[in-house]
Structure formats: C-alpha cells, structure tokens
C-alpha cells in the first residue's frame, strides 16, 4: 500500500464503487462484496462498514455508528475501519468523495 | 476477511456458454474445435432452471458467455431471470451484433457488468486475429457500456503477434474508461494449440510486456484493476486451473453438458452428464466425472508428494490430456513433470526474433 490508513481524511464520504454488489451469501450467512469475476467475503465488522458506505455518511460518522453498534469506542475502532476502507479504496471497490 | 472461497469448496460461479456460434473466428478461441458436435440444445426455460439450481448450490456469479451470447434471442429473459436470483451477472461478449438500445434493455433488466474482448490496438490487426471486421463496433460497444453506467472490463488476449503493443493496448482500454483490464496470455488449448507456433511469444517479448503491465498496474491502482496473466508455458509451475477441478466453477455447454471447465468434454474417458437428465446438484455432488480429479487421491508423482499440490492442484487436466494423452498426468507446464520437455521444445522454437510466418487456422463451425 502506498498511502497509509492514518492519512485518511475523516470527512470523506466513502461509497461503494458502481461495479460492486453487496449481498448476503446464504451458504455462509455472511455478507459478500461481489465484483467482476471475484468476491470478498466479509466478517460482521466489514459488512457493517460497507452497508454505511453509501456516499451519505462521513468516515467519522461511520466510525461513530460502528462504535455504537459494536459497543466500542471510536478511538478503538477508528484504525481498523480506516485500514479496511483504505484497502478497498486501493482496490477500486470504494470511491471517496470529499 | 478473505477472498471468497479461499477457505472452503463450494460453487461460486456458473459459466453459461449459451451458444458456440460466434460471428468472429479468433485464432485462439477457447471453445472446442469440434463446435458442431455441440449445437444449441437448451431452451430459455432450461437455462432458467439451470440458473435456479446453481443459485441453490450457492453460485453468486453468473457469466453469460459463448461463443457469442448476444446471438441468443432470449438473452433478455435470461438476464431478467438471473437478476431475480440476485446473481452478479457478467456478459462476456465480442460486442457483435449489438445495438445501444439492446444494451440499455439488458442493463434495465439487471445486467451487472460487461466484458468486451478486443484483439489488438489497431483495426487492421484486431480484425485480422478476429477473422472479421469488428474493431470499430467493439470500441462503439465499449463506449455504450460506459455511457449506460455499466462497469466495463476490456479483455485482451496476448500472444507473440500483439505482445509488442501491450502499452498501446493498455492505453486503448484506459481511453475507453475500462474499470478492469484483463491482459490474458493465450492458453494453448483448442484453437490456440492448433496455432501455437504462430502465437507463442519469446521470453524477451514476455518480460518486456510484463514490465509495462506492472508499471501500469501501479499507476492505475485504485482506479482501474489491471490483470496480467502469464502463459503457463513460461511459469515453470502450473496454474491453479479453475481454482481446482469441481471446486468453485461449473460450466454448462450449449448442448447442456455440465462441466468443471471450458474444455473438460474434450478429455476422452470421462462421461459428462446433461442438465436435461439430472439436476445440477446431483451432477455437482455425485457425478463420476466431477469426482475424477477432486481431492488428491488421483494425483501421480511428483504431484502426490509436492508441497504445492494444495496450491495448484496439479495444474490443468485438459492440458495434461492434450499434451500427454493422460488427463491424470502432472500438467506438463510444471518443470517437475516428466513430460515437461514438450513445453521446453515449444518454448525454444519461440525464441526466434520477429513474427513466425505461418498460416493461421481460423475458428470455423464444423
């Protein structure tokens, strides 16, 4: 990775790329992010993050919402969420608008 | 989080080869060479039943392929049916014949993405490899895909006659706004095996192209996914063909055979069953041909004790069959195979400079 997750701007509004499709995988009961030829099977945190990547919410708001949902604190979850979002930005699966 | 299927075996992708008919005559077509032995035998309702059964088995991706899937008049009904099952539906097409109106209709019915093949960076060269004037139409179709808001994959098959233009190929795909660029070296089976001497690149050509692709991948990161698939003739270890036989992919041919890969029905000695006589789930779980190369019990040495056997599964069964006559042999692309000399000989013959002046055998329906 060229850019570090720490440099992510928390005012960005991440949005799933048009080529992706987020759906439940009945076989595993987990969410999966589908895109041409591939799929990314998600753990509960990953799925919760991507459901909020609609382009409406800032990254800061997403972290806060997740902290509520998973009974944690934004300071604790922030790093993990940013690293996850950065990874998907690098792969073109998420787009971020200011 | 992990890439789907890395931890478990189950059907992920159904490849529906709706017809082997195609307006193009590409010299490396991956369809079998006895095309007319597999006419279109499935009706719309048969395909829709296959889609339902595949979804029940867990399939999430559906590739509508061929031949040229646009030749199916019922493509709209099939896309609509796939959408109702929540598939990620990819249309894998040469782009001909197609109108903007039909593409818009397919999008409205739930098509997820479109992959357009382009044979080279210029009309003259692309049309020569495709055996038909088609380059201009392909560019037009790629533009429609983007205008209609669909994700675009540009697929370019690489070989010694176009590898020198890989930079131009990438630039062309970029200009078309491709979301994904697939630079896939020819797999030397079927029609491509017939034309191998004219298509197999030299190592120098390949190294140069790979470096250009690597730099482009870095430059396009986060914007466009760029895939460069090495030819297994140069990789020394076989590829994990289809991620393993009967593990994640199932393919149905135009005449209704359920297969683990595109060319499994060209292996003699295996009996593949029709979706007209058994359910997909019965075939997937119980047919002897699907079981033939699952697991490791079938493996000969050096595969059986190789530490890479769980990574490459012994390579490609079709390549083993077509180059050695034994589908259960180690893939000759592996340098540890006792039959690797046939790969080395083909490779050595390809080290000459420039183009090999050989007649190309074009795909024909007979």
Yes or no: say if B200 and B28 are a contact pair by the CB < 8 Å rule.
no
Judged by CB atoms closer than 8 Å, whether chains meet at B221 and A90 is answered as: yes
% of chain B surpassing 90 pLDDT: 93
Give the one of B60, B149, B151 whose C-beta lies nearest to A25's C-beta.
B60
Phi, psi angles (nearest 5°) of residue B253? -85, 165
Which residue on chain B is closest to A17 by alpha carbon?
B151
Q: How many CB pairs under 8 A join A and B?
A: 72
**Whether the Cβ atoms of residue A49 and residue B1 lie closer than 8 Å to each other:** no
Taking CB atoms and an 8 Å limit, are B61 and A23 in contact across chains? no
Q: What is the mean pLDDT of residues B48-62?
A: 98
For residue B353, is pLDDT > 70?
Answer: no
Q: Please say if the pLDDT value at position B23 is more than 60.
A: yes
pLDDT of residue A2: 40
Instruction: Summarize the confidence of residues B149-164 as an average pLDDT.
Output: 97
**B8 falls in which pLDDT band (50, 70, 90)?**
low
Average pLDDT, rounded, for chain A: 91
pLDDT at B5 over 50: no
Q: pLDDT tens digits for B265-314?
A: 999 999 999 999 999 999 999 999 999 999 999 999 999 999 999 999 99
Residue B356 has pLDDT above 70, yes or no: no
Query: What's the pLDDT band for A98 if we cut at 50, 70, 90?
Result: confident
pLDDT band at A62 (very low <50, low <70, confident <90, very high): very high
Contact B12 A39 (CB under 8 A): yes
Contacting residues of B for A34, CB less than 8 Å apart: 60-61, 88, 112
Structure confidence at residue B158 (pLDDT): 98
Count other C-beta atoms under 10 Å from residue B89's C-beta.
Answer: 26
pLDDT at B1: 37
The A30-35 sheet, strands edge to edge: A21-25, A30-35, A38-41, B2-3
**pLDDT band per the 50, 70, 90 thresholds, residue B357:** low
Contact B12, B4 (CB under 8 A): yes
Inter-chain CB proximity B10 and A27 less than 8 Å: yes
List, for residues B190-245, the tens digit of each pLDDT value: 999 999 999 999 999 999 999 999 999 999 998 999 999 999 999 999 999 999 99
**Arithmetic mean of pLDDT, B87-103:** 98
Provide ipTM, 2 decimals.
0.89
- pLDDT at residue B366 in the model: 77
pLDDT band at B331 (very low <50, low <70, confident <90, very high): very high
Residues 6+ apart with CB under 8 A from A87: A1
Q: What is the C-alpha separation between B1 and B171, in angstroms, rounded?
A: 33
Query: For tokens 């195979």, what's the residue?
Result: B337
- Neighboring chain B residues of A26 at a CB cutoff of 8 Å: 58
Whether the pLDDT of residue A1 is over 90: the answer is no
- Considering all CA atoms of chain B, what is the largest pairwise distance in Å, rounded to the nearest integer? 56
- Is the pTM value of this prediction over 0.90? yes
pLDDT of residue B365: 84
Q: Could you give the dihedral angle defined by the CA atoms of residues B131, B133, B137 and B142, in that order, rounded to the nearest 10 degrees?
A: 40
- For residue B3, list chain A residues with Cβ-Cβ distance below 8 A: 38-41
Q: Which chain A residues have any C-beta within 8 angstroms of a chain B C-beta?
A: 2, 17-19, 21, 23, 25-28, 32, 34-43, 46, 84, 89-92
């Amino acid at each position: 990775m060229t850019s570090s997750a720490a440099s992510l701007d928390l005012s960005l509004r991440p949005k799933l790329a048009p080529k992706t499709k987020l759906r439940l995988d009945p076989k595993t009961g987990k969410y999966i992010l589908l895109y041409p030829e591939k799929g990314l099977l998600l753990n509960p945190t990953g799925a919760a993050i991507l459901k909020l990547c609609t382009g409406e919410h800032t990254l800061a708001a997403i972290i806060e919402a997740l902290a509520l949902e998973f009974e944690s604190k934004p300071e604790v979850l922030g790093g993990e969420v940013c690293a996850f979002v950065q990874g998907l930005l690098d792969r073109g699966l998420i787009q971020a608008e200011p | 989080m992990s890439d789907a299927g890395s931890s478990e075996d189950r059907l992920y992708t159904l490849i529906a080869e709706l017809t082997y008919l195609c307006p193009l005559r590409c010299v490396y077509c991956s369809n079998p060479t006895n095309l007319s032995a597999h006419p279109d035998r499935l009706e719309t309702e048969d395909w829709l039943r296959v889609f339902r059964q595949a979804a029940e088995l867990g399939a999430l991706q559906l590739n509508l392929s061929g031949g040229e899937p646009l030749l199916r008049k019922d493509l709209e009904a099939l896309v609509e049916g796939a959408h109702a099952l929540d598939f990620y539906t990819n249309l894998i097409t040469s782009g001909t014949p197609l109108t903007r109106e039909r593409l818009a209709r397919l999008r409205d019915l739930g098509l997820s993405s479109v992959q357009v093949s382009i044979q080279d960076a210029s009309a003259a060269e692309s049309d020569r490899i495709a055996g038909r004037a088609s380059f201009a139409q392909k560019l037009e179709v790629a533009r429609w895909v983007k205008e209609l808001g669909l994700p675009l994959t540009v697929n370019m098959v690489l070989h010694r006659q176009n590898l020198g233009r890989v930079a131009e190929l990438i630039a062309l795909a970029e200009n078309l706004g491709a979301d994904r660029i697939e630079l896939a070296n020819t797999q030397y089976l079927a029609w491509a095996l017939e034309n191998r001497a004219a298509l197999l690149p030299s190592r120098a050509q390949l190294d140069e192209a790979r470096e250009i692709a690597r730099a482009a991948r870095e430059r396009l990161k986060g914007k466009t996914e760029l895939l460069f698939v090495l030819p297994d003739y140069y990789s020394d270890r076989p590829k994990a063909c289809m991620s393993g036989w009967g593990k994640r992919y199932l393919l149905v041919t135009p005449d209704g055979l359920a297969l683990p890969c595109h060319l499994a029905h060209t292996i003699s000695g295996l009996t593949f069953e029709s979706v007209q006589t058994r359910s997909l789930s019965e075939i997937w779980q119980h047919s002897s041909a699907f079981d033939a190369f699952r697991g490791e019990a079938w493996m000969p040495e050096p595969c059986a004790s190789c530490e890479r056997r769980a990574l490459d599964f012994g390579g490609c069964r079709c390549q083993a069959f077509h180059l050695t006559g034994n589908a259960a042999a180690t893939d000759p692309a592996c340098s540890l195979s006792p039959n690797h000399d046939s790969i080395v000989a083909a490779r050595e013959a390809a080290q000459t400079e420039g183009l090999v002046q050989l007649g190309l055998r074009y795909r024909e329906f007979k």
